[in-house]
Amino acid sequence: MKAGVFAALSALALAGCGLGGPGDRQVMVNACVADGESEATCGCITDAMETNLSPELFEKTAQAVGRDEKDMMTFVGELTLQEQLSFSAVLQDMFACSLTGETAE
C-alpha cells in the first residue's frame, strides 16, 4: 500500500513539473502573435527556428524573447558570433514565412 501511494505521489510530482507554463515553442508563437503577426506565420517562423537552431539556442531564444520579452534584434545583437551565424542561416526561412503566412512543412 505504501509503495502504491509513493508511486502515485511520485507520478503526480513529475506531472506537475510540466505544468509550470507553456513550452518553448508555444512561448515563441505567443510572443510573435503579441507582436501582431498571424498565428500561422508565427507557427511557421517558430518551426523554422526550432528546426534550424540548436536546441540550446532555441531554448535561450524562447527565454529571452518569449518569457523575458526582450526585443529580438537586441537579443540577437547580444549573441556570440557563432550564435548570430546560426540565426542568419534561418533568416531566409523566417522571411518566407512572413511572405506566405503559411505553416512550415
Domain extents for the chain?
Answer: 22-100
pLDDT, tens digit, for every residue of 34-80? 999 999 999 999 999 999 999 999 999 999 999 999 998 999 999 99
pTM above 0.85, yes or no: no
HEC string of the chain equals CHHHHHHHHHHHHHHHHHHHCCCHHHHHHHHHHHCCCCHHHHHHHHHHHHHHCCHHHHHHHHHHHHHCCCCHHHHHHCCCHHHHHHHHHHHHHHHHHHHHCCCCC
